[in-house]
Amino acid sequence: MKPHQTEKKPKKYAWFLSISAVLAVLTFFVVYFWLTLEDSGRADLLLFFGRFHILLVHLPIALLLLAAIMELFSRFRPFEYLGRSVTFVLVLSATASIASVFAGLMLATGGGYNESLLNSHKWWGIGVTFFTIAALVFKILPISNPKISEIIYGLTLTVAVVSLFVASHLGGSLTHGQNYLIAYMPDQLKNLLRIDMDDNAVMFDNIDEAVIFSDLVFPVFNDRCVSCHNPDRTEGDLRLDSFDHLMRGGENGPAIISRSPDNSDLFLRIIAPRNDDNRMPPGNRRPLADHQIEIIKWWILEGANPELAVNEAKLTPEIETILAQLSGKSPESPVIYDVYVEPADARAVAQLTNAGIVVTPVSREHNYLRSSFVNVEHIDPELVRSLSQIASQLVWLDLSYTPVSDEHLTIISGLHALTRLNLNATQITDEGIKHLGLLENLEHLSLVGTSVSDASLETLSELPNLKNLYIWQTNISDAGYAWLADHNPEIEADRGHVLAKPDTIILPADDEYGY
């Protein structure tokens, strides 16, 4: 055949391939559903075959891309000869796709995956198989109008390739953590493309019934930590692939100390500065998100119980906001959320992000923002002052576990839109609290682990919208607590759990963990 001639399409060969593909699909379905019958031996056999998915999945990826590239280049005269091999490559790709899909379905029966992500990956993978077979059919079985047949063939092949990229991204997210491909994308590019790293967060229809460990805490470990702390790779002799292994700890002793994040080795490592050799995740890997750290800390404070549900735990303002977002709702704040504000300047947000400050939307319905300094290594007054660029939009500020002092509070007092302020474990004193009297919209203030004393109560009692005050491990006395309740009963002051001193190790009682 000369290079410029059109490839002949033998109809007997075409029908044979089409019928074979249909029979292969039906055979796999019969085998799959037969093996899913209740029987432990069949379940093991499912997983045995399912684990071949890791090997098989690369074949359709390579073959489908090869077919698309060959088809594209065959349109140019020097490469017309490639067109004669496209059908054969598509046959191999369709066959490999079918095998890969069913191996994946078998592997999924073993559980342990994010269900929402798994379902998305499954259906996109099935879509790749369907459109690959469709492209093959229109390639070898042209309809009466060759031009229409060619157009449909091109469209189905294109859709198959696009579906392949989506399915591959979701598969990478399943095995390596969500947003795997874009995890280390430069922040400037994320802002330009308006990529929100929390877009794939699992949403709950009824967040109150969620079990804190299995639904909120363990998925974080599974996505971000298990790759280095699993049966095959156990860094620091610590495994995080199950609750029991987590509580056993590692070479440095217990990883979690019930009700005491300050003494929990794992928590101290995830909040350590970037330059700390003990930081988790290590090196330049993306740190845990602010809301993920907050959930882990909350779970530890509530007793690190594997069975505890959200509706059985005590909620802090920060946790209420996080849970509202996970259920697809906007956190309520009647003081200023009814007032429209312009979006924050994108360049200002990018500047703050480049300095290590986390800046994210409070919700998608408003232009209000929340910010955290959890990843900032060194906090100087000018860095805090840079928040003034988003003063109209910033309603939630988390400075916990940072070296913030009274000097910084003089600047923070100018952030007039703040409704929530977290100063836990900072270096502030009664002198600095005086500056907070200017924050008229402040509703929730957390001072856990600070040296604040009764001397600050008068200032705090005069904050017009303050509703929740957290004063665990402070120098506020019982008499001061009673005085505040008497002078401003609208403020709910919470003294919470008595946390251990930094040099104290509390051994958990067995019955706290549901053993």
The closest alpha carbon to 262, from 498, 423, 502, 449, belongs to: 502
- Which residues lie closer than 8 Å to 329 by C-beta, 6 or more apart? none
- DSSP states along 439-462: -TT--EEE-TTS--BGGGHHHHHT
Beta-sheet pairing, 492-494 with 369-372: unpaired
pLDDT at site 431: 92
pLDDT at site 40: 52
The alpha carbon torsion through 237, 240, 244, 249 (nearest 10 deg) reads 40
**CB–CB of 500/257 below 8 Å?**
yes
Distance CA 13, CA 9 (A): 8
- DSSP states along 220-288: HHHHHTTTTBSSS-BGGG---SSHHHHHH-BTTB-S--TT-GGG-HHHHHHTS-TT-TT-SS-TTSPPP
pLDDT at site 329: 58
pTM for this entry: 0.47
Q: To 5 degrees, how large is the angle CA 306–CA 311–CA 316? A: 95
User: Start-end ranges of CATH 1.20.1420 in the chain?
Assistant: 35-176
The CATH topology of domain 35-176 is A middle domain of Talin 1 (1.20.1420)
Q: Tell me, what amino acid is at 259?
A: R
Q: Tell me, what amino acid is at 250?
A: G
pLDDT at site 67: 92
pLDDT, one tens digit for every residue, the chain (515 residues): 444 444 444 454 555 566 566 666 666 665 666 555 555 556 666 777 778 888 888 988 999 999 999 999 988 888 888 888 898 899 889 888 988 988 888 887 766 566 677 788 889 999 999 999 999 888 887 667 778 888 899 999 999 999 999 998 888 776 665 555 665 566 556 556 555 554 445 556 678 888 899 888 988 888 778 777 877 667 788 888 889 989 998 888 899 999 888 889 998 888 776 667 787 887 656 677 777 888 998 999 899 999 999 888 888 767 887 887 777 655 544 445 567 788 888 888 888 888 888 888 876 667 888 888 876 767 888 888 889 899 888 988 988 878 888 888 999 989 988 988 988 888 899 999 999 988 988 988 988 888 999 999 999 999 998 988 888 778 999 898 889 888 888 888 877 543 333 333 333 333 333 32
pLDDT at site 177: 55
Q: To 5 degrees, how large is the angle CA 189–CA 190–CA 194? A: 120
CATH number of the domain at 346-494, out of 1.10.10.10, 3.40.50.300, 3.65.10.10, 3.80.10.10? 3.80.10.10
pLDDT at site 326: 76
Instruction: Supply the angle between the helices 146-176 and 115-140 in degrees, to the nearest 10.
Output: 160
User: Start-end ranges of CATH 3.80.10.10 in the chain?
Assistant: 346-494
pLDDT at site 209: 85
